[in-house]
Amino acid sequence: MVSNTQQAWHHLAGDDVIASLESDKEAGLTASIANERHQTLGPNSITGQKPVPAWKRLLLQFHNPLIYILLFATLVTIFLKEYVDAGVIFAVVLVNAIIGYVQESKAEEAINSLKKMLSSTATVLRDGEKTSIPAVELVPGDIVFLASGDKVPADMRLIECKDMQIDESALTGESVASEKSLDILASDTVLADRNNMAFAGTLVTYGTGKGVVTGIGDFTETGKIAHMISEAKALETPLTRKIHAFSKLLLWVILGLAAITFGVGLLYGMQASETFMAAVALAVAAIPEGLPAVVTITLAIGVRRMASRNAIIRKLSAVETLGSTTVICSDKTGTLTENQMTVQKLLAGAESYDMSGSGYQPEGKLTQSEQAASLSDNAALHHLLVAGLISNDSRLKEDQGRWTVEGDPTEGALITSAMKAGYDLKQCEAEFKRIDTIPFESDRQYMATLHRLDSSHNLIYLKGSVEQILARCTAQLDKNGDAVDLDVTTIEEKVHEFAGQGMRVLAFAMQQVPSTEDSLESFNQREPNQSLVFIGLQAMIDPPRAEAIRAVATCQKAGVRVKMITGDHALTARAIAGQIGLQNNPGQKVETLEAITGKELSTLSESEVIDAADRVSVFARVAPEQKLQLVNALQSRSHVVAMTGDGVNDAPALKQADIGIAMGISGTEVSKEAADMVLTDDNFSSIEAAVEEGRNVFDNLIKFITWILPTNMGQGLVIMVAILFGITLPVLPVQALWLNMTTAVFLGLMLAFEPREYGIMSRAPREPDSPILSKEMIGRILSVSTLLLIGAFGLFQWSQLHGASIEESRTLAVTLFVVVQSFFLFNCRSLTNSIFKTPINSNPWIWGGISAMLISQLLFIYLPVMNTLFHSAPLSLNQWLLMLGYGVVVLLLIEAEKAFWRRRNQA
């Protein structure tokens, strides 16, 4: 019985595969057998992952200690019958949950995109008849016909092929279309080298063929990727991990302090109800209600800033994760490179030339020894460029300024090369009218075209592999246009030089024949003694993006290691890595760059893979599952991993990485759905900008946390001291809520708009396991909390001694918190640099926030309805001057403390 299992079909002869699948090469399957297999094995479609119900996804947004704190605060305020405050706090909780729910990525969307990759119809052989059926009805053993332009409907072993080339870049990462053959391959041949196979979802770009279906649906290579996407775990980001741990600690500290307060009050003989209200007041005062809202808003501001720098964020937490990144694993094709073959080196008339520019855009210069080259000085160079232009079946197309190739990428590069030198395709085709063609075939390894030269002569141009072209040449064209002796040694030296730089080298030859020879039939008959004249070489590569080179350098300077993980050949990968400037380790020379292939990786133990992933920067000929393995290996060493890519083969690793980055223009829908961030310009340099923004977001969050905690801790200390000394509470629970919510929104939130500090990309990434607050910041929080305790408690007691009402004294204590936190806000604009070196107008939001806070506090103090609601009372001018003076003292003391740490860190 035929089963839907994956085997090494590439290791078997075509006839053996057909026999194993109980099919017939000439008649295909019968309709009854095909129907039976369809019923048994199921449709040729990818099984979608069972989605998490919407209600469950929403409830999961509440599963966070910080949210527990807010829910607790809501219950407390309801208990206090402060229903407006309870509504405000719960609204904060609800907004956070909705934002998280909307932003959350859905894995099933990625799998649905994979389903769309399978073609809708397929031409098959059933009961000896050629017929078209829905691709979903294909079964193992079906004989399928393929032609140029077809999307391959299932995995299949090829049993016939003629000049067949298939674009597998989305699956394997290789930029050049795969040339297909029927040869039996070794069982351990990597996916990208299985030239006798066609894979579901790839595109036939040239030729025709026929294959027997070996895998459908989930059992195709595309299906395996879908399975890996569904299994990849959604990781907590560094921020969520740290906030989670911090919130959990804060929860227990607050509950512990509240319990101590309650116990001490009972020991002092206070009434249980009064003591309980004091404990509740402490808990409400110490809970930073504004923290989750400000975290969410700060991340959202980061999203907006990144969007302006061509990075679209699909998950809010991805903003901060970028700032924590220690390793960027990048696909080569289309990410670090243009994904457009480009001619860079030429050899003609025994002279070498360089061609600038990249991609299919016909902008660049032909130079020799860094000087503009003259076509009139070298007849061989003229023929070399013309041959590449007109012995060619592809076309360039421009759409909204973006140039693409219709046909073979190699031929597109040859057209671009000639156009850069000033040749016009239509003019050349009219001047050298094509009469006949011998198309490229894999066993022949060349293409020949016959052109009308003049009334007496025709001209044959050949392009193809160096070996095949040189074997047919007896002379070479010199710069004067004369045929001279063939210098095979020099040519081969140049070929090795170009190949050593990771380039693909094509050779060109020509032959002048009588005009009576109007077909290539006689040329074929002269095989292999065709006595051609060698013209020259064109060497091409998928070049690195210029902006990627700069971005990689900046990332490495910032301590972020960049690794290339590609399905392309090791030689090409190493050459591109050298041009980009990748390093195995910071400071290591490029000459020592190490590269490991997927085949070598498969022989390593788990511990050796982890070591190689950490040590090596270039991984070539890597299968999709190995990309995922490398990401896991790096994460096991506590790295925060960003993975970039644009192909289907990148999707599982994109989802597993701490942050997945997809390409917006060239990226497949699958990669975009699996990613956390999409680059709208496919520009690696946008990642550098995003990392910069991510670091700024984290800096601003730390600034906010450092700013807000003294407010809560100071209030908690004031209440605890009052309990310990049996004194009336200086701050009521409702006043604590007012203080927490207004200062967080009007003052603290303004720190989210702080611009990037100088040198943000010159420092090393944060250690992934480092605490959210450093010892320096904890010390500062304790210092300001103590200063707030001294000031608020002192002013409260001072005003009581001078006969002020309890409402007036409490208003004084609350307002002192507002004044000191306003001054402390300026201290927090930079946690290390002096306030006097921070441009005063670089963040106008600060002034707007302080103005809004001042107006709100004036209403709190002087508006009768607010006096009733919050038990406040008007203050005198002298009281205001006392508070402002104390605020200035706190500001200067914190600046002195910052100066102490600066000197200590510099020592």
Give the active site residues: 331
Tokens of 426: 């239509």
Q: What gap in Å lies between CA 245 and CA 240, rounded to an integer?
A: 8
DSSP code for 544: B
Residues 6+ apart with CB under 8 A from 450: 434, 435, 436, 437, 458, 459, 460, 513, 517, 518, 519, 520, 523
Q: What gap in Å lies between CA 891 and CA 820, rounded to an integer?
A: 8
Q: What gap in Å lies between CA 23 and CA 210, rounded to an integer?
A: 14
Q: Count CB atoms within 10 A of the CB of residue 739.
A: 25
Token pair 């309870």 in the structure block, residue: 86
Residues 360 and 402: beta-carbon distance below 8 Å: no
Greatest Cα pair distance, the chain, in angstroms, is 122
Q: What gap in Å lies between CA 390 and CA 460, rounded to an integer?
A: 11
Query: 458: number of CA atoms within 13 Å, CB side?
Result: 19
DSSP β-bridge partners for residue 620: 597
Q: What gap in Å lies between CA 654 and CA 647, rounded to an integer?
A: 10
Q: Count CB atoms within 10 A of the CB of residue 249.
A: 12
Q: Count CB atoms within 10 A of the CB of residue 698.
A: 23
SS (H, E, C) 264-314: HHHHCCCCHHHHHHHHHHHHHHHCCCHHHHHHHHHHHHHHHHHHCCCEEEC
Angle between helices 844-862 and 806-827 in degrees, nearest 10 = 180
Element (H, E) at 436: strand 434-438
Positive or negative: CA dihedral 407, 411, 413, 414 = negative
Residues 6+ apart with CB under 8 A from 619: 563, 564, 565, 566, 573, 595, 596, 597, 598, 601, 626, 630
Q: What are phi and psi of 715, to 5 degrees?
A: -65, -40
Q: What gap in Å lies between CA 383 and CA 534, rounded to an integer?
A: 10
Task: Determine the distance from the C-alpha atom of residue 176 to the mean position of all C-alpha atoms in its chain, rounded to a whole number.
Answer: 23
Length of the chain equals 907
Residues 548 and 339: beta-carbon distance below 8 Å: no
Q: What gap in Å lies between CA 150 and CA 133, rounded to an integer?
A: 14
Residue type at position 188: D
DSSP code for 50: P
